[in-house]
Amino acid sequence: MGMTITEKILAAHAGKDTVCAGEIIAAKVDIALGNDITAPIAIREFEQLGVDKVFDPTRIALVPDHFCPNKDIKSAQQAKILRDFSAKYGITHYYDVGEMGVEHALLPEQGVVTSGDLVIGADSHTCTYGALGAFSTGVGSTDLAAAIATGEVWLRVPEAIKFVYKGTLQKYVTAKDLILYTIGDIGVDGALYKTMELTGPVIDRLPMSGRLTMANMAIEAGGKNGIIVPDSVTKEFVEPRSERSPRYFTSDPSASYCMVKEYDVTDMELQVAFPHLPENTRPVSQAGDVRIDQVIIGSCTNGLLDDLRLAASVLKGRRVAKGVRLIVIPATQTIYRQAMHEGLFDIFLDAGAAISTPTCGPCLGGHMGILAEGERAVATTNRNFVGRMGHPKSEVYLSGVPVAAASAVTGKISSPAEL
Amino acid sequence: MALQKGTVFRYGRDVNTDIIIPARYMSTQDPKELAKYCMEDIDPEFVKNVKPGDIIVAEENFGCGSSREHAPISIKASGITCIIATFFARIFYRNAVNIGLPVFELPSAVENFRMGDQVEYDLEKGWFKNCRTGSQFQAKPFTPEIKEIFDAGGLIELVKQQTGR
């Protein structure tokens, strides 16, 4: 029996020739990640262990991105815990404000994570790096604490579902629509504990930005990891930037999958996930008349340069509707600078958008765009649970960038075709 | 472990970590402080009524969403001794195990319990009795790896033992 790419990466990090689904392994971690919400608990737990050093100060990434730049005194105290810990233990991948970006955009961009890695992060969207052909998964703070101390994590080898995307994407239909459609099809627990291996000619043609978007949302289907077998797109992305040598794993033709899902995307419309679960997807043509108050373009799901370019292409020469707040959040400092140089900021500002420094901010109801009671937002983020972006009686509608930008212009959920 | 008694807090499916503990309260790591807001957006009565020894019973996919360990921490600090669900989201399950909050996948019990039922139970044995219906439920034993973590009192304690500290 052959192995999937996920099984091969796990076997390689457990010092085994083979592993099989269901097996529990102790695996070596290449990068362990935490942020200003989760790392303070991990650091407290780490200190209870009474060890005097971390397993490897070059393999720990601490990114204060959620409530940073500090939104209030309590968040300032939390961020300081990361800063002090990083100074004490010589953590090389600590990114303070000015270098900081949304963690899952930042680490691939900076070459901190690479193909073939095993990455754990105390953040559920750590699954993003599967786009590079890495095994990466979200864990909690205690797992992070143990990994910071030992460099190891216990993992159950997941069964795998293979997703095959065929056909041709229509104009404005993006990777976000593919993954929203998929979650709508299989449900928020459709890939529970499992690998989502994303394959097919549509994936082969996706740029790295779209691949990151898709792997990012594997957790919204309950997945343990999302993963794409590395190809020339991957190599072009990782090789100029990786600080360690990438390792390219593939899935064997005889690898075992518990399910195979095939989608022909040619007729796929732009998708919107209605409140309050990412699985409540509808084609935008069936959204009805949903008036909105705010639009967020950004996050670890859709805050990359390609996303901002796409937003600008829809917003160019247009104005945000009266009564709607459009907030654009470039995910990293590098993206911010490049978007500025390309003139995207002028387009956003002319349209009446606010441009924010990199932060997760509004996505989890932290800051930089919180919703009042009864307000509705269209967001390119990843979750629309009750109260996710603010008041428990506010609503979040998830979409790709084109729908978000078009909705900002019309003031209701819209396709760019309506402009 | 002796028999315990408590009240059941019964919830539906896809109880996510954002409603267990909203991000607006995550500027602290203090379990007692987090417990003040536990379940606020799904059941504002929870914190008013919960007592030590009570349990949560919920349907499919309990704990889906964010990796925030604040969620099981706030539940544990509220006095809840264990959670029964049809099944759990994986990061929540890990987190609960790692902090020593027992979690049982027991679909038949989920069907039987209602909000406010009295439950008699033995955590060590994974045994539960619904005092209203008289029905009894036996959870499957934990895998050896997970039992090892529970027996140690959580992952940090286990790592301490393993590293000889």
Of A51, A75, A192, Cβ closest to residue B90: A192
Position of tokens 């921490």? B73
pLDDT in tens, A269-322: 999 999 999 999 999 999 999 999 999 999 999 999 999 999 999 999 999 999
- Name the closest residue on chain B to residue A71, using Cα atoms: B27
**pLDDT-above-70 percentage for chain A:** 100
Q: Is residue B156 part of a domain?
A: no
Q: In what order do the strands lie in the sheet with A259-264?
A: A225-227, A195-199, A160-166, A259-264
Question: Taking residues A353-370, what's their average pLDDT?
Answer: 98
The DSSP letter of residue A390 is B
**Interface contact flag, B67 A122, Cβ < 8 Å:** yes
Q: How many CA atoms lie within 13 A of A273 on its CB side?
A: 31
Give the pLDDT score at B2: 82
Domain count, chain B: 1
What is the ipTM metric for this complex? 0.96
Give me the domain span that covers residue B58. 4-140
Reading the block at residue A248, the tokens are 């390219």
Reading the block at residue A81, the tokens are 């815990």
Helices (H), chain B: 17-20, 31-35, 46-49, 70-77, 90-98, 107-112, 144-152, 155-162
The DSSP letter of residue A221 is G
Of A48, A72, A143, Cβ closest to residue B94: A143
What one-character-per-residue DSSP string does A340-369 give?
A: HHTTHHHHHHHHT-EE--S--GGGGTSSSS
Can you give the three-state secondary structure of B44-90, one letter per residue? Answer: CCHHHHCCCCCEEEECCCECECCCCCHHHHHHHHCCCCEEEECCECH
Give the pLDDT score at A162: 98
Tell whether A191 is within 8 A of chain B (Cβ): no
Neighbouring-strand partners of residue A354: A327
pLDDT in tens, A64-111: 999 999 999 999 999 999 999 999 999 999 999 999 999 999 999 999
Distance CA A137, CA A371 (A): 30
Q: Is residue B116 part of a domain?
A: yes
Q: Is residue B146 part of a domain?
A: no
**Nearest chain B Cα distance for residue A95, angstroms:** 19
Buried/exposed code over A250-284 (b: 16+ C-beta within 10 A; e: otherwise) = ebeeebebeeebebebeebbbbbbbebbbbbbbbb
pLDDT in tens, B18-59: 999 999 999 988 999 999 999 999 999 999 999 999 999 999
Regarding the domain delimited by A274-418, which CATH topology (the fold level of the hierarchy) does it fall under? Aconitase; domain 3 (3.30.499)
Of A45, A122, A189, Cβ closest to residue B64: A189
* Residue B147 φ then ψ, to 5°: -60, -40
Regarding the domain delimited by A5-244+251-262, which CATH topology (the fold level of the hierarchy) does it fall under? Aconitase; domain 3 (3.30.499)
Give the pLDDT score at B1: 59
Q: Is residue B88 part of a domain?
A: yes
- Name the closest residue on chain B to residue A278, using Cα atoms: B65
Tell whether A124 is within 8 A of chain B (Cβ): yes
Range 39-78 of A in CB contact (< 8 A) with B:
40-41, 44-45, 48-51, 66-67, 72, 74-75, 77-78
Neighbouring-strand partners of residue B82: B55
Q: Which domain CATH number covers B18?
A: 3.20.19.10
Residues of chain B contacting residue A386, judged by C-beta atoms under 8 Å apart: 18-19, 41-42
* Residue A192 φ then ψ, to 5°: -50, 130
pTM over 0.80: yes
Q: Is residue B161 part of a domain?
A: no
Domain ranges of chain A: 5-244+251-262, 274-418
pLDDT in tens, A219-271: 999 999 999 999 999 999 999 999 999 999 999 999 999 999 999 999 999 99
Report chain B's mean pLDDT, rounded to a whole number: 95
Looking at residue A385, its amino acid is F
Nearest to B34 by CA among A359, A198, A141: A141
**Nearest chain A Cα distance for residue B73, angstroms:** 10
Residues of chain A contacting residue B150, judged by C-beta atoms under 8 Å apart: none
Report chain A's mean pLDDT, rounded to a whole number: 98
Question: Taking residues A174-178, what's their average pLDDT?
Answer: 98
**Interface contact flag, B27 A78, Cβ < 8 Å:** yes
**Interface contact flag, B66 A364, Cβ < 8 Å:** yes
Give the pLDDT score at A170: 97
**Interface contact flag, A145 B99, Cβ < 8 Å:** no
Q: Is residue B13 part of a domain?
A: yes
Distance CA B62, CA A303 (A): 29
> Which uninterrupted H or E stretch holds B129?
strand B127-130
Mean pLDDT of successive 10-residue stretches along chain B, which has 165 residues? 92 97 92 96 96 98 97 98 97 96 97 98 96 98 92 94 78
The reply to whether A274-418 shares the fold of A5-244+251-262 is yes
Residues of chain A contacting residue B95, judged by C-beta atoms under 8 Å apart: 139-143
